[in-house]
Amino acid sequence: MTLAQWRQWLREQLAGGESPAVDADVLLCHVLARPRSFLLAWPEYEPTPAECERLSALLARRQRGEPVAYLTGEREFWSLALEVSPATLIPRPDTEVIIEAALARLPARPATLVDLGTGTGAIALALKSERPDDTVLAVEFNPEAAALARRNGERLGLAIEVRQGCWFEPLDGLCFDMILSNPPYIDVADPHLQAGDVRFEPASALVAEQHGMADLHHLIVQSRDHLESGGWLLLEHGWQQGALVRDGFAALGYQQIETLRDYGGQERITLAQWPGRLNAENEHQ
């Protein structure tokens, strides 16, 4: 079979999925280790028997629902090619909104930041790539994911420090100009968990207690002890959680509270500035 025939056949086989044409090309590029331009430039190329075998095997896994990013072991985020594995959430394009918001608020001087629950390292690495003079830490609970985030930093030549532990546990006594997190925020009963890629992603990266609010709340409460006065906390959350997150911030005296929408127009990122403990208390007298 020629490359053009494989391409057509894969599209037909993947027709029930969300993006058959893109998936077909991603799998072909991965197995042939060639850029997409090769698929267009050399339609008469005949994949070797070994390549055909690998294509068939990946197709079968995709047809069982496995995310394309787990099949190729890679996903691009903020133009960085990140290694991904079933130990981590697959970085989403919508999370790039948190990067844009962070870049717009960080001071001109070198700053200190931490990404909590970093997974692949996506948020920490994207910011380090834009602001090489910042000190960027990342915290990850799952040791396998922490090792993967470290590998991503090394492969991309981006010097972030990854600490293994639960939320603020490995940050004793440290204060930051900015704290960012894309924590688990989905309710365990949400039907969204029964379809598509999320079925294969680790529940620990997706699901939280208290209708998905438990970790978001923990981060809002604890960040007060780890933010410099005037520092920022930026949180990704579910499309229906914006008001709850804003209320959580307001109740504790955070200021400049704002919610940003994702590329689909849903409330997705809420951020606020910590005025320092004295100022937060005065505000509430």
| Binding-site residues for substrate | 182-185
- Binding site listing for S-adenosyl-L-methionine: 117-121, 140, 167, 182
CB of 271 to ligand GLN, least distance (A): 16
Binding to ligand GLN (CB under 6 A): which residues in 60-119? Answer: 89, 92
| Contact flag: residue 153 with ligand GLN (CB under 6 A) | no
Report yes or no: 224 and 252 within 8 Å, Cβ to Cβ. yes
CB of 226 to ligand GLN, least distance (A): 20
Strand-pair category, 227-236 with 176-181: parallel
Q: Which run of H or E residues covers position 104?
A: helix 96-105
Distance CA 189, CA 32 (A): 41
| Contact flag: residue 185 with ligand GLN (CB under 6 A) | yes
CB of 210 to ligand GLN, least distance (A): 14
Distance CA 148, CA 144 (A): 6
For residues 182 and 273, which CB has a smaller minimum distance to ligand GLN in the complex?
182
- One of 182, 223, 241, 270 touching ligand GLN (CB under 6 A): 182
Cβ within 8 Å of residue 59, ≥6 positions away? 10, 13, 14, 27
For residues 66 and 225, which CB has a smaller minimum distance to ligand GLN in the complex?
66
Structure tokens at 235: 């949180």
Size of the site for ligand GLN (CB under 6 A): 9
Q: Give the chain's length.
A: 285
Binding to ligand GLN (CB under 6 A): which residues in 205-244? Answer: 206, 236
The beta strand positions in 88-175, using DSSP E, are 112-116, 135-140, 161-164
Residues found near ligand GLN in the complex (CB under 6 A)? 89, 92, 182, 184-186, 198, 206, 236
